[in-house]
């Protein structure tokens, strides 16, 4: 008889499972879900040796009951053990270099420890365990550390005669010896950093799955799904294996090209169209500024339509200026200064709203755009027209009819850019734009709900040929922003860019492409029916709520892409609304932002004397599109929140090709919308929460 048992088969009524501990244990186990899944590696517990932690290479991890009584401690040690096994399996046939496994497991688990919430770290403060002590001190894990500490070898019982780190490992460790959740928040900017309590970033989401939240925030950003996280985590393991086998640089080059090809395949883009990855939509604007400078020898004017609906850094980026104080590659720069190598350009901003905050008509916007282009053309300048195909509030401008009028302008030198960053487009729409020679900007982090900060430019064949034929180089300052593999490696202009790699950007795109693939696996009939079904319900629910006032009353005023054929670009999928208090007055900006945060939080402590139904409603975390400042009427500055359709509403409903379950799953997500609106009402009825 043995006292060893698989951890999944163990559930005894010990103190660990008493009522007050169950919820905490469940939360810790949820975090354990971010640990890599390895076939044929069992986690075995033992009561006979309560203080045992043993890694059996390629087979199992044994952990004593003394660890399990302290769930966070067990989580840290198991994370170390599993990471060690990942790297051990990756060594291939030669298993002698276990020093690499020790070093990688230390580095990964240190970051994993750093990303624990403050509450969990506090539970480790008084514990005296080797790994916890080293992580708490944030020691430098290197050759000297390994030579000094033999405790690591006692975990797995293997001795390594060579304790020197091979030079070829350095790049692999630097880029891949990090947890997947850390990679998903790296290589962007400070807005991806998470707080130490809720582990939420500025966008209200996490770099690992958050299934407990009702999430309809795709107009802003979304926490990565379990499905995409697992696929991306497996990708990291494959990259480790390939890097040790083929070399890090070759593996990463192959991975970058694979991502671009997978994106082309998902969106049905012609192979001759080029893709440029960027960490964000604003970075894409800086890339556009650089490309247009290569294409034309004339002075350049950017005409930015919907300037009030783009990212705040876009105008600076189009002028070739730094838009933050740090680049995505972590180089310090000075916000507002010109990036080295950029020429002076003009920028004409055309907002969608007038000075009173009212939405302009299609005709008004078209006239402004045409007038700006005509005057710029008369000056003999090259025009870069930035059109908007679905803004963060769901608007589009200018109209197709206005674009046709440009053909009548004499000697017009123009490049049209389509801001499709929301990616609320069907593949046929993207292909149509590319066939016309337009450059299209997209992100994988909006409609397709990949992790925030995954931008890309899709450059049509005709423009790509022009860029490559000119034989000019990109502005030198872009070395601080992008790597060579982000750009088409065949282009002459980008050959001097850095040889580095932005694995954060790559991993976020990997997750986004995973979401695209499963979305398009839903048959188009059911996909479109599900979209209409869900969007109609959201629209009606907002209009039927007396305390919500939709911002989408006059649809024909701005939607200039009417078509009898169903498509994402001619149906509203973003639903912005004002919020009214019990006196029928619109909430001010600060209270809207406060309500947004409260919606995304567990408020059950505030309602512990209420009914069970109210407590459950208060506890439900609801993540929707973050506040956008918008004038209410002519002179009241307020803000709107947004409920948005995301691709996951469809893909996560299409299970086992069962039509009846599919529509039932759509209805279940519609019921979540009802809960969100009820929670808004609950907060409004307890107005002290907003103070």
Is 580 a domain residue?
A: yes
Q: What is the DSSP string of 192-221?
A: G---TTT---TTS--SS--TTSEEE-TTT-
d(CA 285, CA 390): 16
Q: Does residue 447 fall inside a structural domain?
A: yes
Packing angle of the helix pair 503-520, 248-267 (nearest 10 deg):
30
680 contacts 216 by C-beta, under 8 angstroms: no
Q: Judge contact between 343 and 432, C-beta under 8 A.
A: no
The span from the CA of 133 to the CA of 500, in Å, is 33
Give the whole-angstrom CA distance, residue 156 versus residue 154.
6
- In angstroms, the CA 157 to CA 58 distance is 13
Under 8 Å CB-to-CB from 238, ≥6 apart: which residues? none
Q: Which domain holds residue 386?
A: 272-517
Same domain? 441 vs 538: no
Closest listed residue to residue 481, CA positions, set 362, 264, 595, 323: 323
List of the chain residues with pLDDT < 70: 1-22, 160-163, 553-565
Pairing mode of beta strands 300-305, 346-350: parallel
Same domain for 503 and 454, yes or no, is: yes
**Domain match, 433 and 325 both:** yes
d(CA 451, CA 445): 5
User: DSSP state, 415?
Assistant: E
For residues 505 and 49, give the distance between their C-alpha atoms in angstroms, rounded to a whole number. 44
Shared domain for 546 and 413, answered yes or no, is: no
Query: Does 59 sit behind a cis peptide bond, omega within 30 degrees of 0 on the bond before it?
Result: no
583 contacts: CB under 8 Å, gap ≥ 6: none
- Chain position carrying tokens 């950017």: 302
Is there a domain that residue 572 lies in? yes
Per-residue pLDDT tens digits for 261-270 = 999 999 999 9
What local confidence, expressed as pLDDT, does residue 422 receive?
96
**Does residue 104 lie in a domain region?**
yes
Q: 3-class secondary structure for 97-147?
A: CHHHHHHHHHHHHHHHHHCCCHHHHHCCCCCCCHHHHHHHHCCCCCHHHHH
Residue 555: the pLDDT is 47
**538 and 487 inside one domain:** no
Residues 460, 600 share a domain: no
Q: In terms of domains, do 442 and 305 share one?
A: yes
pLDDT recorded at residue 3: 56
Same domain, 49 and 150: yes
**Residue 108 lies inside a defined structural domain of this protein:** yes
CATH number at residue 399: 3.40.640.10
Q: Say how far apart CA 181 and CA 229 lie, in whole Å.
A: 8
Give yes or no: residues 138 and 35 share one domain.
Answer: yes
> How many structural domains comprise the chain?
3
Distances (CA, A) of 398 to 102, 183, 318, 406, 570: 58, 38, 19, 12, 14
Nearest to 73 by CA among 125, 26, 111, 2: 125
Pairing outcome for strands 548-550 and 574-579: antiparallel
Please say which residue of 128, 158, 188 terminates a domain.
Answer: 158
Radius of gyration of the chain (CA): 27
**Two tokens, residue 361:** 């008509």
Domain for residue 187, yes or no?
no
Q: Mark which of 127, 158, 189 sits at the end of a domain.
A: 158
For the chain, count helices (H), then strands (E).
Answer: 24, 17
* Rounded-to-integer distance, Cα 29 and Cα 47, Å: 20
- Report residue 186 as tokens: 């790296």
Which phi and psi (to 5°) does residue 359 adopt? -70, 130
Question: In terms of Cα–Cα distance, which of 390, 348, 352 is closest to 372?
Answer: 348
Please check whether residues 487 and 568 belong to one and the same domain: no
Alpha-carbon separation of residue 369 from 149, 172, 535 (angstroms): 68, 50, 31
d(CA 73, CA 53): 11
Statement to judge: residues 126 and 45 lie in one domain: yes
Q: Is residue 37 part of a domain?
A: yes
244 within a domain of the structure (yes/no): no
* Residue 498 contacts residue 329 (beta carbons within 8 Å): yes
675 shares a domain with 563: yes
> Which residue, 107, 124, 158, sits at the end of a domain?
158
């Amino acid at each position: 008889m043995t006292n060893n048992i698989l951890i999944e088969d163990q559930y005894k009524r010990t103190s660990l499972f008493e009522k007050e501990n169950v919820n905490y244990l469940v939360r810790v186990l949820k975090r354990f879900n971010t640990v890599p899944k390895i076939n044929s590696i069992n986690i075995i517990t033992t009561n006979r040796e309560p203080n045992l932690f043993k890694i059996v290479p390629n087979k199992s991890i044994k952990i004593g009951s003394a660890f399990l009584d302290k769930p966070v401690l067990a989580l840290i040690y198991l994370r170390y053990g599993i990471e060690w096994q990942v790297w051990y399996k990756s060594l291939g046939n030669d298993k002698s270099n276990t020093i690499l496994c020790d070093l990688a497991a230390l580095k990964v688990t240190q970051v994993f420890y750093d990303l624990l919430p403050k509450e969990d770290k506090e539970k480790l403060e008084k514990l005296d365990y080797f790994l916890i002590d080293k992580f708490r001190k944030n020691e430098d894990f290197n050759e000297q550390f390994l030579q000094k500490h033999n405790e690591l070898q006692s975990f797995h019982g293997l001795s390594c005669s060579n304790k020197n780190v091979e030079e070829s490992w350095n790049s692999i460790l630097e880029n891949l010896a990090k947890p997947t959740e850390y990679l998903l928040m790296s290589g962007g900017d400070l807005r991806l950093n998470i707080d130490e309590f809720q582990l939420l970033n500025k966008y209200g989401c996490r770099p690992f799955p958050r299934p407990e939240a009702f999430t309809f925030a795709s107009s802003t950003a979304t926490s990565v799904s379990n499905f995409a996280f697992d696929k991306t985590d497996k990708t990291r393991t494959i990259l480790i294996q390939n890097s040790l086998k083929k070399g890090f640089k070759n593996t990463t080059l192959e991975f970058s090209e694979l991502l671009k090809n997978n994106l082309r395949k998902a969106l049905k883009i012609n192979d001759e169209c080029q893709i440029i990855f960027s960490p964000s939509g604003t970075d894409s604007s800086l890339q556009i500024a650089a490309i247009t400078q290569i294409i034309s020898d004339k002075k350049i004017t950017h005409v930015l339509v919907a300037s009030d609906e783009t990212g705040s850094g876009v105008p600076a980026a189009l002028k070739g200026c730094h838009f933050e104080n740090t680049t995505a590659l972590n180089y310090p720069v000075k916000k507002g200064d010109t990036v080295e190598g950029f020429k002076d350009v003009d920028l004409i901003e055309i907002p969608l709203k007038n000075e009173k905050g009212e939405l302009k008509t299609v005709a008004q916007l078209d006239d402004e755009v045409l007038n700006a282009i005509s005057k710029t053309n008369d000056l003999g300048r090259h025009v870069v027209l930035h059109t908007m195909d679905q803004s963060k509030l769901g608007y589009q401008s200018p109209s197709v009819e206005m674009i046709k009028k440009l053909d009548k302008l004499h000697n017009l030198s123009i490049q049209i850019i389509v801001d499709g960053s929301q990616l609320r487009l069907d593949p046929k729409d993207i292909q149509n734009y590319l066939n016309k020679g337009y450059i299209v900007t997209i992100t994988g982090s909006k409609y397709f709900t990949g992790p925030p900060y995954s931008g890309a430019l899709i450059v049509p064949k005709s423009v790509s040929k022009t860029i490559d034929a000119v034989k000019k180089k990109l502005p030198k300052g872009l070395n601080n922003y992008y790597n060579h593999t982000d750009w088409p490696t065949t282009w002459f202009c980008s050959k001097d860019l850095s040889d580095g790699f932005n694995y954060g950007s790559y991993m976020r795109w990997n997750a986004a492409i995973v979401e695209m693939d499963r979305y398009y696996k839903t048959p188009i009939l059911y996909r479109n029916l599900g979209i209409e079904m869900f969007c109609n319900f959201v629209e009606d629910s907002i209009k039927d709520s007396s305390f919500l006032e939709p911002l989408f009353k006059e649809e024909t005023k701005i939607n200039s892409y009417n078509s009898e054929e169903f498509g994402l670009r001619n149906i509203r999928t973003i639903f912005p609304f004002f919020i009214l208090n019990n006196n029928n007055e619109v909430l001010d900006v600060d209270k809207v932002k406060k309500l947004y945060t409260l919606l995304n939080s567990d408020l059950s402590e505030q309602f512990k004397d209420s009914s069970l139904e109210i407590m459950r409603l208060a506890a439900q975390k609801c993540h929707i599109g973050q506040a956008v400042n918008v004038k209410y009427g002519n002179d009241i500055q307020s803000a709107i929140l947004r409920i948005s359709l995301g691709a996951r509403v469809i893909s996560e409903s299409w299970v086992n090709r069962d039509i009846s379950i599919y529509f039932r799953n759509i209805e279940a997500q519609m019921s979540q919308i009802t809960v969100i609106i009820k929670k808004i009402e609950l907060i409004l009825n307890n107005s002290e929460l907003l103070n």
